[in-house]
Amino acid sequence: MCLTFAFRMLLVAALLLLAASACGQEKGELQEKRRLAMTMRAGTVKLHYQGMPERVSPVLMKAPVLKTNDATRGEVDGALWLWLDGQRPVAAMCITYYDSGKWNYENVTLTDEALALSGRPGWVWEPKAAPRNWTALDDAVPDAPRARQLALRSLPRQFEISEVRRGERFPLRLIGQPIYSYADPDEGVTDAALFAASYGTNPEVLVQVEARLEGNQRRWHVAFARLTAAEATVKLGDKELWKVAPISVGEYDMHEGYYATNEPDRPEPD
């Protein structure tokens, strides 16, 4: 009898293991389908500089720089892409699939120049030209390249970044490694990187750090960009470096530097 009971328990355990394996495989296949659909949607959009048809358009990176999700907010799967002009990032786009069956698109500019994004049915994004707010920091910039890279990666950790949702403030976590690194020698930028401050793995604020040559010396400069409709703040000690006001549903402006919209999950046209 004991052997029979033990055998039954082993059989139940084996069946549960098989069911869990099948469920995991099904979830993995579903996730792969979503990410393929996400990549297809990203490939349909085009970005160019407004009023400059002769200028080479920014190029969307083939692969996303960050994969995202936040089950606590209904965000099942997502990814963040960058648009590049040469090596320099000029815009970011985050595509997210929600458990409500909708795709959400967040777009933010990382340049002073006017842009125009098209390719999706029913919406476009045309941020007007506007100077970005860069802050010069007093932190020393090392002369040695390796030491400079280490300093570049550690510098954003001193910022306190948060957002406010429904009256509650949430701290945002800086993802340790840069999501993208670059240089722009023509503009005197010797070392630069883009970081993401996230809730879960969902990026809410982008942190851009550049070491710029000023005469014979380098100096750190930092700028921030929102990927959230919530109020967001960056502080350095007691000093507020950057803050954006919340955006209510229905108040997104296609001519502003940040724009978000959504569309139902439906088959893409051939």
- pLDDT digit string (tens) for 50-80? 999 999 999 999 999 999 988 888 888 999 9
CA–CA gap between residue 4 and residue 147 (Å, rounded):
67
Q: Hunting for tokens 């996400």 — which residue is that?
A: 38
Task: Please tell me which residue, 31 or 195, carries the higher pLDDT value.
Answer: 195
Tell me how far the alpha carbon of residue 64 is from its chain's centroid.
Answer: 9
CA distance 45 to 59: 11
How confident is the model over 159-178, as pLDDT tens digits? 999 999 989 999 999 998 99
What is the mean pLDDT of the segment spanning 239-250? 95
As a whole number of angstroms, the distance between CA 124 and CA 111 comes to 18
Question: If pLDDT is split at 50, 70 and 90, which confidence band does 35 have?
Answer: confident
β-pairing, 189-199 vs 202-214, is: antiparallel
Q: Please give the Cα distance from 133 to 115 (Å, whole number).
A: 18
Per-residue pLDDT reduced to its tens digit, 40-51 = 999 999 999 999
Q: Are 199 and 173 in contact (CB under 8 A)?
A: yes
pLDDT band of residue 16 (cuts 50, 70, 90) is low
Question: Is residue 108 situated within a structural domain?
Answer: yes
Q: What is the DSSP letter of 122?
A: T
Q: What does the pLDDT read at residue 21?
A: 45
Q: Which residues have C-beta within 8 Å of that of residue 48, sequence separation ≥ 6?
A: 55, 57, 58, 115, 116
Centre a 10 Å sphere on the Cβ of residue 51 and count the other Cβ atoms it contains. 10
Q: How many domains does the chain have?
A: 1
Token pair in block for residue 67: 């994969």
pLDDT given at position 11: 55
Expressed as residue numbers, the domain containing 154 is 41-264
31 inside domain: no
Cα distance between residue 191 and residue 149, in whole Å: 7
Answer whether residue 134 is part of any domain. Answer: yes
Q: What is the mean pLDDT of residues 173-186?
A: 94
Alpha helices of the chain — where are they, by DSSP H? 2-44, 145-154
pLDDT at position 180 over 60: yes
97-132 residue pLDDT tens? 999 999 999 999 999 999 999 999 999 999 999 999
Residues 194-202 have a mean pLDDT of 94
**Is 177 among the domain residues?**
yes
> With 50 as the cut, is the pLDDT of residue 29 above it?
yes
- The residue written with tokens 């604020």 in the block is 205
pLDDT computed for residue 2 by the predictor: 53
- Cα–Cα dist 161/197, whole Å: 7
| Residue 28 is assigned to a structural domain of this protein | no
Mean pLDDT in residue range 236-254:
95
Do the domain assignments include residue 9?
Answer: no
Percent of the chain with pLDDT over 90: 75
Distance separating alpha carbons of residues 186 and 83, to the nearest angstrom: 19
Quick check: is 7 in a domain? Answer: no
Q: Which residues contact 42 (CB under 8 A, 6 or more apart)?
A: 60, 64, 79, 81, 93, 95
Position 195 scores a pLDDT of 98
Contacts of 158 (CB under 8 A, 6+ apart): 236
Residue 211 falls within a domain, yes or no?
yes
